[in-house]
A and B are shown apart, each in its own frame.
Chain A
Amino acid sequence: MLKKILMAKRDYSGVLSSLLAIFIGLLVGFLAMLVVKPSAALSGLRLLVTGGFFNGLTTFGSVFFYATPIVLCGLGDAFAFKASIFNIGGPGQMHVGALVAVWVTCNIGLGAPLSTIIGLLCGALAGALWALIPALLNAYKRVNIIITTIMMNYIGMYLAVDILKKSNIFDNTKNQSINVPRDLRVARMGLDKLFVGSAIDCGFFIAVIIAIILWFILEKTTFGYEIKAVGKNRDAADYAGIDAKKTIVLSVLISGALIGLGGGFMYLGWAGKYLLGSNTQLSEGFTGIAVTMLANNNPIACIFSGFFLAYLTQSGSYMQAVGFAPEIVKVISAVVIYCSALSRLVSEYLRRKKLDYLGREQKGDLR
């Protein structure tokens, strides 16, 4: 059976491993619930699976809203991963992007929808700029980008909070950003008629279009070929005359732009999310890593894995209904995310298994 799937013309090992990770994640989550409150475990599990429809289409529509920023973050991380760059600067890039997007939208005064579009683009630009410094340091000085992006997360957060407090989009009494005027929020294109009362807007569909564009770039263009060449073997890329430094900087800039754009969508939407005046990192920026890992860095798969994780988060918010403390939700989603990271290992195992079936000799394995 396994052999049949692995030997199929198309490579399914990535999908298989992701599904396995999700299954293990849910299983461990269930066990955790059994330990905490055995009597409610079954209904807890049911809620976890069906919670995305807790209030019918209203809830389900909001899943689309919550999926948008993490899908975009996942896409950003996936793009950088293709060049073998681990961009974990998501929270910082997102924070800066969100602040700039909201500020520009509220202040530029061009009316809807132009203000919003320009605001979102500026948010993307800000995210890209925030990624630029680590990108340059890595490409030209080979400074470890994991460390620089983490540091930029803190700098971005403090800076964004500080600027927010001094700006005209800050509501002092609530210690958060102001309500974005309704006509300046992301367009809903009638989707709110279908998903009545939900936070859905057109953001998710823009993310889907971006995913398809990224897939096209990576698979069909010379730029994608160069990014993957640099990611797989930088020396060989140099040898082939590819400008590896430029390629790395560009891929990280695009990564930062996507994450910044995700921040814009999150705070220009209809869910009543506000930039806070307290020093808090935007955890959605990290969720992007889980999204891309679960998707094996495939942009199209990022849509599904991002949607899945958003669905889980949404279900999770209703878990208190059956008597689980809010924290159990975090445990469950953490396990799923953890397993999604492990799915890398599983897919590597499956790949080797496939090579075994093909009977290929790998000299390096002779030990």
Chain B
Amino acid sequence: MENYAIEMLNITKRFPGIVANDNITLQVKYGEIHALLGENGAGKSTLMSVLFGLYKPEEGKILLDGEEVKITNPKKANELGIGMVHQHFMQIKNFTVLENIILGVETTKNGVLQMDEARKKVVKLSEQYGLKIDPDAMVRDITVGQQQRVEILKMLYRDCKILIFDEPTAVLTPQEIDELMVIMRNLKKEGKAIIFITHKLDEIKAVSDKCTVLRLGKCIGTVDTATTTTHQMAEMMVGREVNFHVDKAPQKLGDVILSLRDVKLKSEIADKYVLNGVSFDVHAGEILCIAGVEGNGQSEVVKVISGLLQQESGQILLKGKDISHESRRQRIIDGISYVPEDRHKHGVILDNTLEENLALKKYFLPEYQKNGVINFKARRELADKLIDEFDIRSSEGRSTVTRSMSGGNQQKAIVAREIDAEHDVLVAIQPTRGLDVGAIEGIHANLVAQRDAGKAVLLVSFDLEEVMGVSDRIIVFYEGEVVANVRPEDVTVNELGLYMAGSKKGENLC
């Protein structure tokens, strides 16, 4: 008889039309990191919602320290010592770290805050677990990685014994991911039970002890990560063999489609250039990848190309035509398709239907409107065509409210819309962020198909594996400048790392 910290036994949760969790069992011990792996829509979120008392399961029970508990709401879950580190942090930006941590559980004496006591506890916890953080820093001033530490400290401050990490690495840079792994190991050493939700197999392999795999609401199995390869886990997750390698036909390089010439952009906050004289060309039939650590000007260069930001000087040429001062709409018509970085902020209107979102780039074209009156028939046909072609899954087809769709399918919809629009160049920034293996494969295939169809593809990625796998040519951004221009077959990951860290500079930069 083993002593489990938390056991979810034979959980079944049905929704009208689907069984979201079908007889799922999850058992986690103290001092164990237990990965929960599954594609978007496999039932991970539902299972965690059951654990948090947001959903009441039809069957099954939850045992905490061997005793059955009824978790009726998230507050109850917190009281029982179950805490969650969310993907999107719940923090007040202009409060300090300390204020954010104690928010909701403030110690008071006659109505007066006892900050000193709280500070002592926070400092002690951060030393104990190696969570380096300045308790007096404003949350708006600290990095995403540090904000995540604040979330972890919040849970520890509330004496949580069972911690759930919901895709914690999706928002982090490679260095921050390494630091998080260390923190997780510390937590494990101190006897916490950890449930780690992720798509990234390498991380599971690196840090977790056990891994439970879900697929389509069913539990496929629980394995020891030490003795299971990432390939086996991936197969369990998607139910077929996964192709980590991107198949590409030999390149047929065409003319230059998009060129940047000495583009400069001043930072909005600091007195420096975020783009400091950037020049490069993208040819037809090539995938040019911009690599680099996040925050070195990649987001800005993409916004400048698409027309969301106006550069200070320099030129942007599309097929030889200077589009530097054209409006965003004109650039769309000229043939720039763009998969944005933040799909919720820019990519879709969450409260609109899938159909309305799929038409976002085309609704003004003559086929879709006449004298300003929308041609609903054409719009429906467009939506159905894209849903079918790109396998966008949702509960109610084209009339699904986009907010209710999974992240992977929202992204598929954006990619579908951008590829469908008449274009010569496809710009994509982090198109696979937060997606599962199956969806990533699909998007990579889309990008390669665009290249093979003779389009120019500009891909920004912070994921070196993706950079090496997909690209025909790589340029590296460092501090708003291009510091390397190489082909993936001529370079190693380590070398790229040096370029990205700014400690090496290449030749033939343009």
Interface residues in chain A, defined as those with a beta carbon under 8 Å from any beta carbon in chain B: 220-223, 225, 228-229, 232-233, 235-243, 355, 357-367
Q: Do A358 and B395 have beta carbons less than 8 Å apart?
A: yes
- Supposing A241-B332, A365-B54, A366-B52 touch, asked if A222 and B369 sit within 8 A by C-beta, the answer is yes
Cβ–Cβ < 8 Å partners of A241 in chain B: 307, 327-332, 361
Cβ–Cβ < 8 Å partners of B20 in chain A: 359, 361
| Additional A-B contact list (17), CB under 8 Å, known A221-B374, A367-B84 | A222-B369, A229-B352, A232-B349, A233-B345, A233-B349, A235-B345, A236-B345, A237-B349, A239-B306, A239-B328, A241-B332, A243-B329, A359-B15, A361-B45, A364-B88, A366-B45, A366-B84
- Supposing A222-B369, A236-B349 touch, asked if A362 and B403 sit within 8 A by C-beta, the answer is yes
Docked CA distance A235–B360 (Å)? 13
The answer to whether B286 has its CB under 8 Å from any CB of chain A is: no
Q: Do B374 and A225 have beta carbons less than 8 Å apart?
A: yes
Q: Choose one: B18, B54, B306; the contact of A366 (CB below 8 Å).
A: B54
Q: Do A233 and B350 have beta carbons less than 8 Å apart?
A: yes
Cβ–Cβ < 8 Å partners of B338 in chain A: 239
Q: Do B374 and A360 have beta carbons less than 8 Å apart?
A: no
Docked CA distance A115–B324 (Å)? 51
A223, A360, A362, A363 pick with most chain B CB within 10 angstroms = A363
Cβ–Cβ < 8 Å partners of A358 in chain B: 15-16, 395, 404
Which residue of B has the minimal Cβ distance to A233?
A: B349
Q: Do B374 and A220 have beta carbons less than 8 Å apart?
A: yes
Q: Which 6 A-B pairs have the closest CB atoms?
A: A359-B15, A241-B329, A360-B404, A239-B346, A241-B328, A233-B349
Cβ–Cβ < 8 Å partners of A232 in chain B: 349-352
A225, A239, A361 pick with most chain B CB within 10 angstroms = A239
Docked CA distance A357–B374 (Å)? 32
- Min CB distance B67 to A, Å, is 24
> Which B320-350 residues have C-beta < 8 A from chain A?
327-332, 338, 340, 345-350
Cβ–Cβ < 8 Å partners of B328 in chain A: 238-239, 241
Task: Give how many B residues have a beta carbon under 8 Å from the other chain's beta carbons.
Answer: 51
Cβ–Cβ < 8 Å partners of B340 in chain A: 239
> Which B351-382 residues have C-beta < 8 A from chain A?
351-352, 356, 360-361, 363-364, 369, 372-374, 376
| A–B pairs, 7, beta carbons within 8 Å | A221-B369, A229-B360, A239-B340, A241-B329, A358-B15, A358-B404, A367-B84
Which residue of A has the minimal Cβ distance to B371?
A: A221
- Min CB distance A204 to B, Å, is 27
Q: Do A359 and B349 have beta carbons less than 8 Å apart?
A: no
- Min CB distance A363 to B, Å, is 6
- Min CB distance A367 to B, Å, is 6
- Supposing A222-B369, A225-B356, A366-B166 touch, asked if A238 and B308 sit within 8 A by C-beta, the answer is yes
Q: Do A229 and B374 have beta carbons less than 8 Å apart?
A: no
Docked CA distance A228–B374 (Å)? 14
The answer to whether B81 has its CB under 8 Å from any CB of chain A is: no
The answer to whether B299 has its CB under 8 Å from any CB of chain A is: no
Which residue of A has the minimal Cβ distance to B327?
A: A241
Q: Is the interface of B mostly helix, strand, loop or mixed?
A: mixed
Which residue of B has the minimal Cβ distance to A367?
A: B74
- Min CB distance A50 to B, Å, is 41
Cβ–Cβ < 8 Å partners of B86 in chain A: 366-367
Docked CA distance A366–B165 (Å)? 12
Docked CA distance A67–B227 (Å)? 76
Which residue of A has the minimal Cβ distance to B18?
A: A359
- Min CB distance A76 to B, Å, is 21
- Supposing A232-B351, A239-B308, A366-B166 touch, asked if A361 and B363 sit within 8 A by C-beta, the answer is no
Cβ–Cβ < 8 Å partners of B349 in chain A: 229, 232-233, 236-237
Q: Do B404 and A362 have beta carbons less than 8 Å apart?
A: yes
- Supposing A359-B15, A361-B46, A366-B48 touch, asked if A240 and B374 sit within 8 A by C-beta, the answer is no
Docked CA distance A186–B254 (Å)? 70
Q: Choose one: B52, B166, B346; the contact of A235 (CB below 8 Å).
A: B346
Q: Choose one: B16, B18, B166, B327; the contact of A357 (CB below 8 Å).
A: B16
Which residue of B has the minimal Cβ distance to A230?
A: B349
B15, B17, B88 pick with most chain A CB within 10 angstroms = B15
- Min CB distance A350 to B, Å, is 15
- Min CB distance A18 to B, Å, is 20
Which residue of A has the minimal Cβ distance to B333?
A: A241
The answer to whether B49 has its CB under 8 Å from any CB of chain A is: yes
Cβ–Cβ < 8 Å partners of B347 in chain A: 236, 239
Which residue of A has the minimal Cβ distance to B351?
A: A232
Cβ–Cβ < 8 Å partners of B363 in chain A: 222, 225
Docked CA distance A357–B55 (Å)? 11
Cβ–Cβ < 8 Å partners of B186 in chain A: none
A222, A223, A357 pick with most chain B CB within 10 angstroms = A222
Q: Do B345 and A220 have beta carbons less than 8 Å apart?
A: no
- Min CB distance A11 to B, Å, is 11
Mask, B23-55, CB within 8 Å of A = 1, is: 000000000000000000000011011001010
Docked CA distance A237–B46 (Å)? 32
A220, A233, A238, A361 pick with most chain B CB within 10 angstroms = A361
Docked CA distance A361–B15 (Å)? 10
- Supposing A236-B346, A355-B404 touch, asked if A363 and B372 sit within 8 A by C-beta, the answer is no
The answer to whether B90 has its CB under 8 Å from any CB of chain A is: yes
- Min CB distance B404 to A, Å, is 4
The answer to whether B96 has its CB under 8 Å from any CB of chain A is: no
- Min CB distance B395 to A, Å, is 7
Docked CA distance A229–B74 (Å)? 34
Q: Do A361 and B49 have beta carbons less than 8 Å apart?
A: yes
Cβ–Cβ < 8 Å partners of A242 in chain B: 329
The answer to whether B87 has its CB under 8 Å from any CB of chain A is: yes
> Which B395-418 residues have C-beta < 8 A from chain A?
395, 403-404, 407
Docked CA distance A221–B375 (Å)? 9
Cβ–Cβ < 8 Å partners of A225 in chain B: 356, 363, 374
- Min CB distance A109 to B, Å, is 37
Q: Do A221 and B373 have beta carbons less than 8 Å apart?
A: yes
- Min CB distance B339 to A, Å, is 11
Q: Do A367 and B404 have beta carbons less than 8 Å apart?
A: no
Cβ–Cβ < 8 Å partners of A229 in chain B: 349, 352, 360
Docked CA distance A225–B302 (Å)? 26
